[in-house]
A and B are shown apart, each in its own frame.
Chain A
Amino acid sequence: MTAAPAILPARSLADRLTATFWRHPRVLLAILLTPPLLWLGVVYLGSLAALLLQSFYSIDEFSGVVKQEFTLKTYAELLRPSNFDILVRTVIMAASVTLACAVLAFPIAYYAARYAKGHWKAAFYLGVMLPLWSSYLVKVYAWKLILAKEGIIGWAAERTHTSWIIDGLLSIPGLEGSSLSTSPLGTFAVFVYIWLPYMILPMQAALERVPNSMLEASADLGATRAQTFRTVILPLALPGVIAGSIFTFSLTLGDYIIPQIIGNSANFIGMAVYQLQGTAGNIPLAAAFAVVPILIMLVYLWLARRMGAFDAL
């Protein structure tokens, strides 16, 4: 009886390739990484480069043809009062939506992180995840039904004799509209609704990392509930809030469907991009508008880092 060799002979090409992968792990790594990196590099980074390039072109005002030479003229156009208004309006909307999301998300995230157990925990998780993933357009459409003058809110207000509250809100300068669905108030409500789950999930993750012992220590040292919340829970939850706010802020900055369907058709950055590249055919200005959210988000991330939002991660 002969002893079997410790190393099996290579039986096929596959075996020989396996040996190569074993001796040179970089070869396998390169084979694995090449297709996805080619795709993302060419399709995505290539497109972003095209976007930047287009934003430095300009459009000939008489012929409407894109002039393919480097200029900062298109960026200067962003500072025209009518265009600058769009930027300011979008940033104000994104900031207020983010704030409202943080306030609404906190009780849900806190309850799910600290008190929900077993089945309730799963229910809370699914309860946040399903609206996050379910169809964006269906959700927007649902709010068109809700906010319509003849819709459920109007009906409920009439039944409870509180229509004057809605009328009062709709007569505030800046929020005017014939109904909630044509007022900036409606746009705001829908933004908050659609992006709320994006705030809840990171907040909950951050709150789950707050150790119970710290809360007990705080109570032992005589802190009231409010003091514990302010000095222990809130600072420790801040990274989650910032992470969530990055989503809500950036998504609101870029959205162009919601203000198109609900609101007084005041322009937002996303809508400007959409209209300029479509009917107006002004791709350079559309590209310049699209670069603005990228810049704003870079500043936002930089500020968040300066404030130490990432230190605790």
Chain B
Amino acid sequence: MLSERSPLSLRAAAIGGLLFLHLPILLIFLYAFTTEERSFQFPPPGLTTQWFTTAWYDRPDIWPPLWLSLKVATIATSIALILGTLVAAAMTRTAFFGRDQISLLILLPIALPGVITGMALRSAFGIMDIPFSVWTIVLGHATFCIVIVYNNAVARLRRLSGGIMEASADLGANAFQTFRHVLLPNMGSALLAGGMLAFALSFDEVIVTIFTAGSGAEAKTLPIWMLDELIRPRQRPVTNVVAIVVFAATFFPILAAYYLTRGGSETAGMGK
């Protein structure tokens, strides 16, 4: 008989591992309140909330990157939602020639390291003389967001019984009515989850973005702004305040996506 209780050492190692994954992020919050702005002294010599007001009022350089990131993430997510749903619908319908190749093609942009995707896009822009702009950033982001939406949509479609589509057709609905009244309501939460994960991924992306944004100030997304601050720091706690915002902008969509798709074998977020 196997014991149902875990050995103490295993439990300790597992919980220790989880703490290792989470504790570092807490420090970001702590350092947003420190009075020391030139070093990362621990423990902080004093605590203050002034950096939140400083970030809000005295740092106009934060706002354009924030808007740009929101804009890019919104457009990229919209494109990914449409393309990801289309390809998911095609893949669950029938077996056809080249199906495996297509699923590999969808997966490739996140399976290969970001630097390759970035450098590949950069090479293409170079060869075709395409100037950097918001749209070159969106191009890259949408490409690797498709797979996120696809994963969520395809899992839901597989679980959906084909019977309801046939029932809808038997009752006289055409393909568009079936899509509107049967398919869409059933896929809604999976698409919302996929969309939110894609948004979080795009909002936070930096590795590909650097290659597709060019060096102009108008093409600085929030993660690129943060990277600049990490390399040439000034008012370090302000960076922490922004880091908290970025963290929240990715944390809550992920949590929501988890609860939207919970209870199936298809829980969101298994593959990033």
Contacts and interface: CB of A to CB of B under 8 A. Distances in A.
Contacts, number: 280
B131 interface: no
Nearest to A109: B14
Contacts of B47: none
Contacts of A15: 174
A30 to B, nearest CB: 9
Given A50-B123, A111-B11, A129-B254, A142 B269 contact: no
Interface residues of A, number: 99
A43 B255 CA distance: 31
A135 B247 contact: yes
B11 A105 contact: no
Contacts of A260: 231
Contacts of B249: 135
B123 A47 contact: yes
Chain B interface residue number, banded: 35 or more
B89 interface: yes
Interface string B197-219: 10011001011001100010000
A212 B2 contact: yes
B230 A144 contact: yes
Given A50-B127, A139-B25, A146-B27, A257 B207 contact: yes
A29 B47 CA distance: 61
A93 interface: no
Most central of B5, B105, B128 by chain A CB within 10 Å: B105
A16 to B, nearest CB: 9
Chain A contact residues, majority secondary structure: helix
B167 interface: no
A287 B86 contact: no
Contact of A198 (B4, B40, B108, B272): B272
Contacts of A261: 230-231
Contacts of B113: 250-251, 253-255, 270, 293
Given A47-B123, A135-B250, A150-B39, A254 B114 contact: yes
Given A111-B11, A126-B258, A17 B105 contact: no
B119 A143 contact: no
Most central of B86, B108, B223 by chain A CB within 10 Å: B86
A25 B175 CA distance: 12
Interface stretch (B15-23, B58-66, B183-191): B15-23
Contact of A142 (B27, B86, B123): B27
B159 interface: no
A232 B2 CA distance: 14
B12 to A, nearest CB: 8
Nearest to A125: B267
Contacts of B177: 14
Contacts of A125: 267
B175 A14 contact: yes
A114 B117 CA distance: 38
Given A36-B84, A219-B2, A151 B40 contact: yes
B21 A196 contact: yes
A90 B4 CA distance: 43
Contacts of B87: 32-33, 36-37
Given A47-B117, A51-B120, 6 more contacts: A36-B146, A39-B142, A110-B10, A196-B17, A261-B230, A273-B115
Q: When A and B form their complex, which 4 residue pairs have the shortest distance between CB atoms, in order from nearest? A: A254-B113, A111-B14, A107-B13, A47-B120
22 contacts: A17-B174, A18-B175, A25-B93, A29-B96, A32-B90, A35-B82, A36-B106, A39-B83, A51-B124, A108-B17, A115-B5, A127-B21, A131-B21, A133-B200, A133-B272, A135-B250, A141-B28, A141-B226, A146-B27, A274-B115, A293-B112, A293-B116
